[in-house]
Amino acid sequence: MTRFELFNEIMFEAYCKKAVSNATKKECQKKSKRGQMEQSLSALTDAALYSLAAESDEAEQPEETCQTFHVQGGNIPVYDPKLSKALSYLIPKDREIILLYYFKGLKYTQIAPLVHISASAVSRRSRAATKRLRELIENAP
């Protein structure tokens, strides 16, 4: 390695270290400023919390309606009207697979014994049902 290449390498390393140092410093300053402006919710009085809730639009709006699906002894609420309508058009076993996979977060291998079919069948049915749902939602009025 020539002297010139060595010099360039050293300069580049110094530049990188300085850039990282400056970025870290800047983020620490931002965090510090944000910490000075924010106030902990535990430090607020009940009156202040109530006034914050009263100012919020969410507190005054009625709760969103949802359709609840009963799956494996549990209830799964679906708040999106288009999605809940599309789910109601699926056959029950496909709907159950979709709800368990996407809403309960179960894996295909966990769903298979619950619906009494193989994991590969669960995968196939899930893909087909997802495709059908997409079509139903896109074609909904």
Domain topology for 67-138: Arc Repressor Mutant, subunit A (1.10.10)
Q: Is pLDDT above 50 for 7?
A: yes
Query: Taking the domains of the chain in order of start, what are their residue ranges?
Result: 3-57, 67-138
pTM here? Answer: 0.54
Residue 113 confidence class, pLDDT cut points 50, 70, 90: very high
Structure confidence by residue, pLDDT tens digits, 56-78: 555 455 556 788 888 888 888 88
| CB neighbours of residue 114 within 10 Å | 15
Query: Coil, strand or helix: which one is 75?
Result: strand
Structure confidence at residue 81 (pLDDT): 86
Q: What integer pLDDT is reported at residue 129 of this predicted model?
A: 93
The answer to whether the beta carbons of residues 98 and 131 sit under 8 Å apart is no
